[in-house]
Amino acid sequence: MTTIASFDARLLRVPLIRPWAADVTSVGVIATHVTRSDGVEGWGFSWTPQIGASAVLALLTEDIAPVATGRDADPEALWDPLWRHLHEAGGGGLTTIALAGLDLALWDASARATGVSVSSVLGRRRDGVRVYGSGVNLHYPLDELLEQVQRWMDAGLTAIKIKVGKPDLAEDVERVGAVRALLGADRDLMIDANQRWDLERATTAIDALSQFSLGWIEEPLRADDLAGHAELARRIEVPIAVGENLHTIHRFGEYLRAGATQIVQPNIVRVGGITPFRRIAALASAHGVALHPHLLPELSGQLALTLDGEPWAEDVEDAGFGDLGVLRDPSPVSISSGRLTETTHHGLGLRFREA
C-alpha cells in the first residue's frame, strides 16, 4: 500500500486586483505539498477570501498532517476517516476547506505518478466547456458595470452574471435592465444576490427582475435557509442556484430533495476537494439538476471537463490565479472566445510561487 510519507502547508496572502468589497481586498491561498512512500510528490491548495486562512493553515498542520502521515495515500479511501476525525471542529466550513488541501494534493500525486492530468485519471468527457463572465460588482457605478460587461462581450463571452441586492429595488431594476439592453436578447444573463434578501424581499425583487430573461437567481436567501428556498422555488419561475456556501453532500441532498434548487454550484475547495465534489456531482445528476462549479476556473474548469451534462466554468474578472500572478508554472487551462480548454500539464498543474 502506498502511504503518505510527509505533508506540509504554507500560507500566501494574495491581494486582489479588483477588491470584492471594502473589507475583501485579498484571498488566502494555503499551498500544500504531499510526498508519498513511493517518492511521488503532489501539490494542492486550500483557499478562502480574506477570512479564515490562518485557521485553515492551523487545521492542516496541527490536525490533518499528524493523522494523515503514514496512512493510505488513496484520496477516496482517506477522505471519510479524516472528515470524521475533524468533525468535532465542525462538519463543514473551515474543516472541509482544510481537507481540500490534502485531497487535491493526493489527486495531483495520483495523476503525476502516471504522467497524466487529473482530468485524464477521472475520465475527460469533452475538450472544452462554456465560460461565463462573473464579477463582484454590486459596488460598481452603472457606467463601470457596463464597461465590465462590454469587456466580457469583446472577449467573446456569451453568458455573464452580475450582482444584485441594492437597498433600493429600483436601482437593481435599472442596472439589470441596462445590462440586458447591452447584451441583447441572444446572450445569457444571470444574477446573484449573495444571500442579501429575505423571502418576501426575494419574491418581490425577482418578480420585478424576471422581465429581463434571467438564466438563474443565485443565493437569493441565506444559504442556511432551506425552508425559505423551497418556498421561494414554489413562488417564482426563475431557476434558483445555490451551492457555494453548502459544504457537505448532506446539505446538497437536503436542498435537492426539497426542490429548493434547480442548479447547484459546489465550490470544490469548500466542499473538501475532488473526492466529495464528485459525489455531489453524481447526486445532482441523479436528481436531474444542472451543476456548474463555483469559482476557481483553473481547478473547476478541469473538473467540469469530466462531468455529466453541460457544465459551465465561472471566470471572475481579474481573480484567476494566473491573473493574480501566484502560479509557478503556466496555467493548466486556457480561456478563449468563451470556452475553457486544458493546456498540457501533469496532475492539476497548480503549483504556487514561494512568495
| Mutual angle of helices 75-86 and 274-286, in 10-degree steps | 100
Q: How far apart are the first and last CA of the chain?
A: 35
Q: How far is CA 97 from CA 94, 115, 245, in A?
A: 5, 27, 11
Residue 133: HSE in the Cβ half-sphere, 13 Å Cα cutoff? 28
Q: What residues form DSSP beta bridges with 97?
A: none
Asked if 68 and 75 touch (Cβ cutoff 8 Å), the reply is no
Q: Which residues of 293-320 are buried (b: 16+ CB within 10 A; e: fewer)?
A: bbbbbbbbbbbbbbbeeebbbbbbbebb
How many CA atoms, within 13 angstroms, populate the side-chain half-sphere of residue 88?
2
Please give the backbone phi and psi of residue 4, each rounded to the nearest 5 degrees, phi first.
-85, 115
Distances from the Cα of 259 to the Cα of 103, 253, 271, angstroms: 30, 10, 21
Q: Are the C-beta atoms of residues 171 and 199 closer than 8 Å to each other?
A: no
Contact status, residue 42 vs residue 110, Cβ threshold 8 Å:
yes
Residues labelled catalytic: 163, 294
Q: Taking Cα atoms as reference points, which of 332, 337, 312, 313 lies closest to residue 321?
A: 332
- Is the alpha carbon torsion for 107, 110, 116, 120 positive or negative? negative
Helix axes 142-154, 169-183, angle to 10 degrees: 30
Cα 135 versus chain centre, distance: 14
